Amino acid sequence: MPIDYSKWKDIEVSDDEDDTHPNIDTPSLHRWRHQARLERMAEKKMAKEQLEKDKSTTSKKMEELEKKLAEATTDCKSDIQKQIDDVKRQEEEWRKKEAELEEKERLEPWNVDTIGHEAFSTSRINKITDKKPAPKKTDEEDSKDMGTFFQDNETLLERLGSLKGGCKATEIFLAEHPHMASDYSANWLTIEALNAAIVEDEPKMKTMAEQCIIIQYLIELSKSLNAVPTNTSIQKQFFKKFEAADPSYMKHYHDEVKAFEDRLRTRAQTKREAAMEEVENEERAKRIEASPGGLDPQEVFEELPEEMRKCFESHDIEALKGLAQVMDEEVFKFHFDRCIASGLWVPGKADEEEEEEEEEAVASTSNDSAAN
């Protein structure tokens, strides 16, 4: 069968028309013609949609009338039948209009907007990747691998943690040691930054915090591209974007670094307080263990009345004896018994000290006499 080329004869293409006057802007004319054609197509589409809507309404009305006719009495059937005849005539008019639209559309020349349609569309983006992701490690395996990484790269980790100069210094470092762009490096930096915050070494903590955030940003970019952060192409792409980043992105970056520093300070304060509490508990346990009656001598001393506490601070036994005469007997006895149980007061030791003082005084007097 010969190929029928007749359907290609009537194609309306405004861009190949060259019959315009030299004083007329041809591109503008083509745009106007194209816009007019689009408006005509939109009007036809609206007319077709309105026709479909009217046909649907008429069909529903016909169904209702037929249902009424089946249920109506003999007297009402004539009126309902008249309505049905009117609806049928209306349906016939809709069919004629539909046929006219179809014929008009068939005879209309093709144009750039109707000559074809998109059958399907798809987009594919090749992502940089070195290899398929490895099976997920167990916590024990991951801890072991992290310990090995720390041990094998101890010197490099210390260099990374001491880098100053922000992202540029990190770029130079990773260009020589790309394998250091890993979660393990970020973990090491976090730990060491926290240790620096605990001892309140602010410059060291800030340097490590910034390096940690840079490594984490690089890792996040590699995840979004389904790649590994040690890929040198990914690293170059990251630092190139970082260098050309707009002010809003850099503000977000600096805010992230500051927030990380604040979290480190808060965590360091918590760990310092916990360490101090642990030391205090150990010292308290030792004091209680050494006391005769199982009481903490420090707590007993702090709970003493002010007058008794001054006597113990100055080691003034005579003042303590005088206080026993004027203070409420039960109150004095309660606190004094606690002093004995905690070891603040050792019964009999005061008398021994008095005898020693008297002996020292007598010896001193004898020595003075002999000298004379």
Q: Radius of gyration of the chain from Cα atoms?
A: 48
What does the angle CA 286 – CA 292 – CA 295 come to, to the nearest 5 degrees?
A: 60
- pLDDT of 5 reads 57
Check pLDDT > 90 for residue 332: no
- 356-367 per-position pLDDT tens digit: 554 554 445 445
3-state secondary structure of 216: helix
Q: What is the DSSP letter of 292?
A: S
Instruction: Compute CA distances 11 → 4, 112, 114, 356, whole Å.
Output: 15, 8, 10, 130
3-state secondary structure of 245: coil
- pLDDT of 155 reads 92
Closest-CA residue to 299 (of 317, 278, 281): 281
What is the percent of the chain with per-residue pLDDT over 70, rounded to a whole number? 76
- pLDDT of 361 reads 47
Amino acid at 332: F
State the chain's mean pLDDT as an integer: 78
Distance CA 370, CA 372 (A): 5
Q: What is the pTM of this model?
A: 0.49
Distance CA 323, CA 311 (A): 9
- pLDDT of 132 reads 57
The CATH H-level (homologous superfamily) assignment of domain 141-273 is Cdc37, Hsp90 binding domain (1.20.58.610)
Element (H, E) at 11: strand 11-12
Residue spans per domain, the chain = 26-107, 141-273, 297-348
Q: Which of 139 and 185 is assigned the larger pLDDT? A: 185
- pLDDT of 69 reads 75
Backbone angles phi, psi at 168, to 5 degrees: -65, -45
Which of 35-44, 88-97, 265-274 has the largest mean confidence?
A: 265-274
Distance CA 337, CA 238 (A): 73
- pLDDT of 130 reads 52
Check pLDDT > 50 for residue 182: yes
Q: Which of 129 and 68 is assigned the larger pLDDT? A: 68
- 35-86 per-position pLDDT tens digit: 777 777 778 788 888 878 887 888 888 888 777 777 777 767 777 778 878 8
